[in-house]
């Protein structure tokens, strides 16, 4: 389980996150929604150990972040908003490059199978020739090379076609169900959040997202 207790983050005098507490359980996809600037990306960066909180505690499977950063990182996959790929490399070359930086060793066959599971059939083609949806799939595949138990996804389907979005959603649901992966997911697409997520947290002061989710029959939790 991922447990966040009384988390706060400030930049100088600007309070981004104030006293946030929530949990994510194994096999659960949890949505995090809110207006721009509410702190969603900041939250994910803190959970990915890329930024430090100003206050509060975080534990992953009872392993405290503060004293176990290196070990915690081995359990996390993080997909930022911006696509982070080597455009001149092929899909295969990207996968093998990041595998060498990974905490786990995977064979070329295993890497290929991971892409195929996501319906990313391109392999020898350079990344710059891929569609936006295929690039997003490759970004996610790279984050899963080391079999993380927690997957952090910051708007992973923004700007891509509906077919790719549906395929990514189906894959993530299977990943959560079959492997018990904990997934924390941010998006401004409420239809996507409603269909994909088991639970939804609203962050920030804007009541718009909270009302949209309530009207859909979901029971969002206001952080």
Question: Can you tell me whether residue 19 is helix, strand or coil?
Answer: strand
Tens of pLDDT along 11-50?
A: 888 899 999 999 999 999 999 999 988 999 999 999 999 9
pLDDT score at 31: 97
* Burial class (CB within 10 angstroms; exposed 0-12, middle 13-18, buried 19+) of 213: buried
Please give the residue range of the domain that contains residue 60.
2-222
Per-residue pLDDT band at 208 (split at 50, 70, 90): confident
Task: Provide the pLDDT confidence category of residue 210 given band limits of 50, 70 and 90.
Answer: confident
The domain that holds 33 is classified in CATH as 3.40.50.300
Write out the two tokens for 56.
């509060």
How far apart (Å, rounded) are the C-alpha atoms in residues 187 and 86?
25
Asked if the model's pLDDT at residue 113 lies above 80, the reply is yes
Q: Hey, what are 153's tokens? A: 């996804």
pLDDT at 205 over 90: no
Domain count, the chain: 1
């Amino acid at each position: 389980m991922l447990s966040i207790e009384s988390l706060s983050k400030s930049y100088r005098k600007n309070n981004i996150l104030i006293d946030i507490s929530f949990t994510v359980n194994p096999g659960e996809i949890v949505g995090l929604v809110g207006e721009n600037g509410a702190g969603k990306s900041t939250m994910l960066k803190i959970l990915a150990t890329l930024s430090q909180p100003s206050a509060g505690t975080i534990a992953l499977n009872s392993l405290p972040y503060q004293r176990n950063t290196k070990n915690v990182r081995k359990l996390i996959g993080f997909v930022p908003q911006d696509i982070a790929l080597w455009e001149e490399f092929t899909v295969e070359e990207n996968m093998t490059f990041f595998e060498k930086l990974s905490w786990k060793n995977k064979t070329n066959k295993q890497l290929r199978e991971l892409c195929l599971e996501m319906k990313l059939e391109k392999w020898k083609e350079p990344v710059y020739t891929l569609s936006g949806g295929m690039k997003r799939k490759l970004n996610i595949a790279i984050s899963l090379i080391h079999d993380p138990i927690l997957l952090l996804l910051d708007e992973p389907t923004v700007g891509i076609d509906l077919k790719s979005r549906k395929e990514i959603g189906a894959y993530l649901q299977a990943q959560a169900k079959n492997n018990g992966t904990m997934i924390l997911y941010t998006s401004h697409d409420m239809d996507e959040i409603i269909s994909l997520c088991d639970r939804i947290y609203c962050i920030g002061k804007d009541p718009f997202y909270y009302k949209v989710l309530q009207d859909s029959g979901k029971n969002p939790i206001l952080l």
